[in-house]
Chain A
Amino acid sequence: MEILPDRQKQVRQTGTTPGQDSAAPIACDKHSAAGSVSQRACVFCGSRVVLYPIADALHLVHGPIGCAAYTWDIRGALSSGPQLHRNSFSTDLREMDVIYGGEKKLYHALVELIDAHKPEAAFVYSTCIVGVIGDDVAAVCKKVTAEKGIPVLPVASEGFKGTKKDGYRAACEAVYRLVGTGSTEGVGPHSINILGDFNLAGETWIIRDYYKRMGIDVVACITGDARIADIRRAHGAKLNLVQCSGSMTALGKKMEADYGIPQKRVSYFGIEDMAAALYEAARFFPDDPTILERAEDLVREEVAAITPQLREYRRRLEGRKAAIYVGGAFKAFSLVRALKLLGMQTAVVGSQTGGPEDYVKLQEICDPGTIVVDDSNPLELAQFCLEADVDLFIGGVKERPIAYKLGIAFCDHNHERKEPLAGFVGMLNFAREVCNSVNSPVWQFAPRKRRKAVPSQSQEIAA
């Protein structure tokens, strides 16, 4: 297998040598090797994706136009009210700003945009060159905060200052400045915050509804369909449920340290993990045993509703092989399990930002022979897919053409998605999407499949 020498320690095949897996963990948490065509983005991207769904805030990107242009209306993060977050605002720095500094322009931009849109808060994202030309972004933010009477929060997201994970941290720091600034009056004893769900295709609404049905109040969703006012009072909740381990753990930790709010890691993907996330919250409130009862009823009901259709999908997917390459490793755990439920085997799994313990866990839950990879790239992924001869690839926009070019089915599990994949109903959507793609008749014409003389998929469907 052709892997750059710089990257060899970031790739592993499970179970090839007994005892090897735990002995030498996969190298990760590293700056991407130069020239490796990493699928990762940058610090700015990390901050931008996390804060993006806050719908009543102004999001101003301070820098030349690219960073703002590429993130305009990019996420499938829905809002039940304001749509301000779907715009792209930039200071659009020019050569003279680079020479003389962009503070004045930033100030004017903030003032005019706040006057025009009346947001509840503003986030100012620093891009690469802001970190180099030395603009005092914090000072400008402070000045505008005083003049306009809303929080104007700097986000230290200069692209080169670390990896996407550092961007998550910068976003958490900015959000954390809001937490604790609102009244917690009326927050009930059985209350939680949902951290790390971004309401892609309305997923937060699905999750929120489950907790509501169990009798649990959701104080703030950070940041799915978030409102500044909710974030301000988030410290009133009794428990933080943290999904998307990478992005929001930092916020959970801060709230634990300062407000004594414990955090639990959960995932809303797949039946098992979704149910576990509900039970986790229910067990946290033992004073009211009816919460757990309602959770059990809910799970029973929801699972019963989707089981017949899931069985049908499983029948049509059983024995197929999949590759997974996603941003955070925690999502990968859920996907491995969800695929198992559909009778599918994970042959390749990797993430952009997984940590050491994530990879140990991935190696544990995958079948022997699975390729586990950190911070991969197109050449590796194509190679892994071909060698493992997978039928399905689960990934994001940048992985999609790799799969399609090679005649491999694809499931979009990215932040652009328009179909909810979380919750019980999400599991059904996931199964449908996977089944539709894997069993499409188009693959019979794909050159790679033809060369291998695989029996026609359309015949199989007809059978």
Chain B
Amino acid sequence: MKTLPLQGPGLDNDDLDEPQFHHAASTRNACKLCTPLGACLAFRGIEGCIPFLHGSQGCSTYIRRYLISHFREPIDIAASNFSEESAIFGGKSNFEAGVANVVKGYKPQMIGVATTCLSETIGEDMKRLFHEYLGKHWEEGHPEMVHVSTPSYTGTHIDGFHAAVRAVAQALAVGGERTRRVNLFPGMVSAADLRHLKEIVRDFGLAYTLLPDYSESMDGPSWAEYQKLPEGGTPLDAIRALGSSQVSITFGRTLAGKPGAADDLEKKFSIPHRPLGLPIGIRESDAFFALLETLGGRTTPRAHAQERGRLVDAMIDGHKYIAGKKAVLYGEEDLVIGLASFLCEIGVEPVVVASGGRSGALISSLRAAVPELPAACQILSGVDFTDIADAATAAKPDFLLGNSKGYSLARKLQIPLVRVGFPIHDRVGAQRILHLGYRGAQQLFDAVVNTLMEHKQENSHVGYSYL
């Protein structure tokens, strides 16, 4: 595609510390979603919390159906449902009626309010709206109300996710006598990942607050009765206890330097913050387990050590099938850093690493995490799928690694797509894909190797049944 010289506002306003690879004025098949989606998912990872969008009805409905198609679970998201009048005179009356209806209908423990581009643009004063609403309606047992600002004209769904986590921690955490509890901010990972993280931390004998935790609320069992707000999620008391824990751990290398929940806790309650990369692959997982050994004062439990051992064994058994294969990977910045690190561990060469996010930290974080990443690997941030397709076509990869949105590209290039991350709209089991820890690496390894074996088998004239 032809590139245009553009100086117009909007293209150079994100204060990037790295070159831009997206040269078009438009975004063509985005490799990102809007900020309120991330906030809604984070809120649904809190026990008894209903997400509430202050803005148009459509935002809530679109985000619901998008999340439903991935998780295959109900997710109710309320909206203040702006009318033309609200857009002109402000959404106060809709906000108040909406919150009152939600309290009546859902009896939530918390309402997570995210402001959409509409309410942000008209400059709604949320502090005042909260104050006035609670002035009229507060009574003992009224649900907690937390606001996060998520205008979709800044950042991506990941930014909305982290912002919501931060807002909740800011609003609810209180100090207290220091405990051995560990605060864990995992980022936007799968339901299976969250379950596995809890298992790991528990096995080290540590109490924890995992925020958010939608491992049950977005991946729960079949019901005997209707649950207005599905069970599960981080309990509010556990969030309040964030301020008395021994340490905070945040996953996500690109988050360094940007204030998040753990940084606030460090500042306010002097809780040390130990940022880590998403524990994908052996090295990033080792770093997590090593930290837990220190915190728990014990060695890695045998079951997990065995898992690591089997993973290494499997990697040796399978390494020749994938040796020298090239991959294009895309998705959220911290996810692709973890995936690139893992691929380099197993002898696959990442040729393009791309993200729609533009934290400004992708290149430096990726190079730091994966020093052996070939210099020729193209690292693209702030790109769309047209950019990714251009880069991928030139790089001639053997497979794609990323979410469902790369399917049309994989089809065009006639190469397989190994599905990870979010969204996965064309397979079942998206919420059960495990990416993290040794067990997650094992599943990723098996998926990558088997996909490439299958592809070779299907495209072979011989049709070996013994590979």
Residues on A lying within 8 angstroms of B by beta carbon are 2, 4, 6, 31-45, 60, 63-73, 87-100, 102, 104-105, 108-109, 111-113, 115-116, 127-129, 131-133, 159-162, 378-379, 382-383, 386, 396-398, 400-402, 404-407, 445-448, 451
Contacts and interface: CB of A to CB of B under 8 A. Distances in A.
Interface of B: 1-2, 4, 6, 8-11, 13-14, 24-30, 32-34, 36-37, 52, 55-66, 68-69, 72-74, 76-84, 86-87, 94-95, 97-102, 104-106, 116-118, 121-122, 151-154, 156, 221-228, 405, 408
Contacts of B63: 66, 70
A383 B14 contact: no
B136 to A, nearest CB: 15
Contacts, number: 265
B58 A41 contact: yes
B222 A128 contact: no
A407 B77 CA distance: 22
B119 to A, nearest CB: 9
B157 to A, nearest CB: 9
Given A94-B10, A382-B226, A34 B84 contact: no
5 closest residue pairs by CB, A with B: A42-B58, A66-B34, A35-B98, A34-B98, A35-B101
Given A35-B79, A97-B9, A379 B228 contact: yes
A91 B1 contact: no
Contacts of A95: 13, 151, 153-154
Contacts of B24: 109, 112
B25 A64 contact: no
A97 B26 contact: no
A65 B105 contact: no
B83 A160 contact: yes
A34 B25 contact: no
B438 to A, nearest CB: 32
Contacts of B60: 37
27 contacts: A31-B81, A35-B52, A35-B98, A35-B101, A36-B78, A36-B81, A40-B57, A42-B61, A65-B32, A66-B33, A69-B30, A73-B408, A87-B29, A89-B28, A94-B153, A98-B151, A128-B117, A133-B121, A159-B56, A159-B82, A161-B84, A379-B228, A397-B65, A402-B74, A405-B74, A406-B226, A446-B222
A162 B84 contact: yes
B68 A88 contact: no
Contact of A45 (B37, B62, B98, B408): B62
Contact of B9 (A33, A34, A40, A104): A104
A328 B13 CA distance: 43
A90 B27 contact: yes
A34 B95 contact: yes
B27 A397 contact: no
A198 B117 CA distance: 30
A108 B25 contact: yes
B335 to A, nearest CB: 17
Contacts of B154: 94-95
A399 B167 CA distance: 31
A89 B26 contact: yes
Contacts of A92: 10, 26-27, 30
Given A405-B223, A446-B222, A91 B26 contact: yes
Contacts of B34: 64-66, 69
A431 B256 CA distance: 56
A108 B97 CA distance: 41
B62 A66 contact: yes
Given A33-B81, A64-B153, A92-B30, 14 more contacts: A33-B101, A34-B94, A35-B100, A37-B60, A70-B63, A70-B66, A96-B13, A97-B10, A105-B8, A112-B2, A161-B87, A379-B105, A401-B72, A407-B222
